[in-house]
A = this chain, B = another copy of it.
Amino acid sequence: METALSFYAPIQGELKQVEDGLKSVVHTGMGSTDALISHVVDVQGKRVRSAITLLTAKMLGCNDEGPVLMGTAVELLHLATLLHDDTIDNADVRRGRATLSSLEGAEIAVLVGDFLFAASAVKVCDTQNIRVIRRFSETIMDLSSGQLTERFMVNEWQQTMDQYMERIYKKTGSLFATASDAGAVLSGADETTIKQMRSFGKNLGIAFQVVDDILDFEGTAAEIGKPVGNDLASGTLTLPALLLVERYPKNNPVVALCQGIEREENIKRAVDMMHNTGVIDDAYKVAEELRVKANASLDGMPDSDAKQALLELSDFVLARHV
């Protein structure tokens, strides 16, 4: 874990417990299976999602075990979705490591993903809170339907901005929203506070995905670990591409490549245009607005190190420029 990030400070102990919880999943008693699960769970992520649960609970004065259990469940679920995504996308590398599907085949990777989905659901049951458990399962539905919709929308250059926002909410924002929502529910917060914290997670999660989508058009292939314009090449239209379509209805490279015309050349043209016309800057502005909206949800929350850390985490999400 990159403990250098300042927003970890108020929850160092709890994050350690989350890491221990992740490792405990590896002991199934089946040697070969344990090795496969280790390969997935051992990857050191930033644990942003569990940090949101833990900081929310800390800010609201909760000292129970619940938020640690939820934080662990949230990270397990995130790992399960990454595994299925990489399998579906035939990705070879994730966070600098060979993917399980590239090493063991798609069959094994799908089953280990199923196992991790189930392990996350068992972990959330340990909270003994039905509201949180139910929200968690609904989130898995959102995550998979968000991914499905992304696939159905391939090359659909006439999709609306609302459709894009709804899709990335499901694909990414829903788990952020559940992370903060559960932090509040498990702290015994009132409904207004829960709603505000849900709004915080939702807007921050959408901002996170918008930045992710922008990063696909920035830097070099070496920096981002995949070819620049990778989403566009696979027909997935994200905010910069949709802004380009909206603003330049005539002779548009995105529309052309969606129609199968000179794909490689048009990807290059589209990426150049995004940078030259200020579309990338404007996409960052959209993310920034979402971040401001997220932070506004914290306005009435009790002042504390944890609240300050949530604001820093929110900065961090936006600062992921290459």
Contact = CB atoms under 8 A, between A and B. Distances in A.
A148 interface: yes
B88 A110 contact: yes
B110 A149 contact: no
A77 to B, nearest CB: 10
Given A122-B134, A125-B137, A149-B30, A144 B111 contact: yes
A32 interface: yes
Q: Is the interface of A mostly helix, strand, loop or mixed?
A: helix
Interface string A104-116: 0011101110110
Contacts of A297: none
Interface string A98-138: 00000000111011101101110110010010100110011
A277 to B, nearest CB: 33
Given A106-B106, A134-B125, A112 B33 contact: no
Contacts of A139: 118
Contact of A32 (B108, B125, B128, B152): B152
A283 B300 CA distance: 69
Given A130-B128, A148-B30, A149-B30, A140 B111 contact: no
Nearest to A167: B30
Contacts of A151: 107-108, 111
A145 interface: yes
Contacts of A147: 111
Contacts of A128: 130
A307 interface: no
A111 B117 CA distance: 12
A88 B111 contact: yes
A140 B125 contact: no
Nearest to A33: B148
Given A33-B148, A134-B125, A140-B118, A110 B107 contact: no
Contacts of A138: 118, 122
B144 A133 contact: no
Contacts of A137: 118, 121-122, 125
Contacts of A1: none
A145 to B, nearest CB: 6
A218 B36 CA distance: 35
A137 B130 CA distance: 14
Given A84-B111, A107-B88, A125-B137, A144 B130 contact: no
Given A121-B121, A122-B134, A130-B130, 9 more contacts: A33-B148, A84-B114, A88-B106, A108-B148, A112-B144, A122-B138, A125-B130, A125-B134, A125-B137
17 contacts: A30-B152, A32-B148, A33-B145, A33-B149, A33-B152, A84-B111, A84-B114, A87-B110, A88-B107, A110-B110, A111-B144, A111-B151, A115-B141, A118-B141, A118-B143, A121-B121, A122-B134
